[in-house]
Amino acid sequence: MPFASPDALDASYDVCVVGSGPAGLACALRCVERGLRTLMIEAGGARATPGQPDVLAADIGDPTSHDPTNITSAAALGGTSHWWGGRSVPFDPIDFAQWPIGYEDMLPWYEQAGAFFGARGVHEAQAPSAFGRLRDFDATRDETWCPQINMAKRWRAALTRTQGPVVIANARVTGLDIEDQRVRGIRVHFRNDEKRVTARHVVLACGGLGSLRLLLLAQREHPALFGGADGPLGRGYMGHLTGVIANLAPENPRDADALAFRALSDGVDARRRITARREMLDRENLPNIAFWIDNASNENPAHGSSVASAKYIAARLARIAASLGRNNDGAPLKPHFDNIARAPISATAGLGRAIYLLIMAQLTGTLPRSRRFTPAGDGAWLMRYHSEQKPHAANRVRLSDDAVDSLGLSKLWIDFSFSAEDCEHVVRAHELLDADLRASGAGRLDWLGDRDACLLMVREFARDGYHQLGGAAMSASPKDGVVNADCRAHDVENLWVASSCTFPSGGQANPTLTIVALALRLAERLAKA
């Protein structure tokens, strides 16, 4: 798309949005709708390029727990939506227990955020058969998936029209000029030159860590901001635990189809999540958690699927033809041929459909999803978990004392890990789900090892960096957080943050829908400011 000329940085604006990911796009487009002259500054260009450590330069204390920042974020118009999964999931009512706003307040914004993505906000459907009898868990809540994951493509027409936001690409915000509790200017590095942009309101929408970095840089220049060095800024950084330690074996195998993807309308797919009820979480003092079934690996013939075995053999032959060896390429093929022999017609049809879906994905940029999942064994399907991590004081993001990037800006230093208690909570939730499934007659969990082995697996899977939560928490009081209930900085009256770093808790859900809901809500506040 055509970007604005450099002269655009010399103008004055009602709103300057820093970052053009889903939150930045949603906020900027809504501000324009409300008649606000809006500038959006993006550090990248039109396309996302992996491996740009200088845009979000950081050193990580424990690299086994947090992925490198140059692969967890994308600098480009559309931000990380260039390669996210397109999953739209709302938080649950319990997730707002520590927030200064409630679930009911968020409901209309969730619906608008779902529409922004082309998916849904809150979506529920009747639980399949015996799953409706679960007492401690619930199988009515869906996650929905938008058909176009790249928000820059989805909103291209709105971005390119004359009345749209002014967009400056390949420009990095390096700092904020703050005086008398107001941002008086935004310092921008553009084409080897330093510019100063002025706007009545400034919105940081450059991801969890990107927004934290600019806030920390501002605090370094003004040490009393955000509670000072011993205040809340940078503290309580969180992620999610995810992985697999058990398979789900439903009593009625047909229930697996009800737990797989299903089409809604307008290209939107839904998949059911099994979530924990608030009463159980309170009773057990557990963080929130969700479960869903997924495709098992085609390489393991224990799935018993003729289609999965046909896909595996085809992929293996392709690797041999391309001379791409793998460690397990010597695995015996006979179990896979046995699977195919039991249903050769299904295997042929399934392989043909897989090739068709791959071709369509390459042509359209969208990926059709399977309506049936490959089992992980006889009557059992792989079950993934996605668990909240409670805030820990030891998990902190700060500025490095000596390491800098190519512009001389301090890198981030990330102290982050998962505790033994975090891992124990995941195993305990599985035990409770297994008991509930058996008591209701819905099925059971087939564990992938004994309790100690499963606890070790949770520990080995415990790694994040993609869901950058907390560090500039929303709070009613400045001593407890960095922004208020409207996402405005407590002590800078025209500085706003549209980012997951404002989350006081992480919940069980992927954060993107909530980020965009808050960004739309923030934009409406700006229109009235």
Model confidence pLDDT, tens digit, residues 158-216: 999 888 999 999 999 999 999 999 999 999 999 999 999 999 999 999 999 999 999 99
pLDDT class for 55, splitting at 50, 70, 90? confident
Q: Residue 68 in contact with residue 464, Cβ under 8 Å? A: no
The pLDDT, as a whole number, for residue 343 is 56
The whole-number pLDDT of residue 362 equals 46
pLDDT average, residue stretch 470-478: 97
pLDDT in the model for residue 85: 86
pLDDT, tens only, 273-288:
999 999 999 999 999 9
What is the C-alpha separation between 195 and 299, in angstroms, rounded?
55
pLDDT per residue as tens digits for the range 360-391: 544 444 555 666 788 888 899 999 999 999 99
CATH of domain 1-49+73-85+149-226+468-529: 3.50.50.60
The answer on pLDDT for 314 being more than 80 is no
The per-residue pLDDT for 305 is 55
pLDDT at 299 over 60: no
Domain residue extents for the chain? 1-49+73-85+149-226+468-529, 94-146+240-293+370-388+425-461, 296-365
Which pLDDT score is estimated for 312? Answer: 53
Let me know how long the chain is: 529
pLDDT tens across 389-410, in order?
999 989 999 999 999 998 999 9
Measuring CA to CA, which residue among 394, 66, 21, 483 is closest to residue 239?
66
Residues 6+ apart with CB under 8 A from 346: 306, 307
pTM: 0.89
The reported pLDDT for the residue numbered 129 is 87
**How much is the pLDDT for 162?**
83
Instruction: Work out the burial of residue 190: count CB atoms within 10 Å of its CB; fewer than 13 is exposed, 13-18 middle, 19 or more buried.
Output: middle
pLDDT value, residue 6: 81
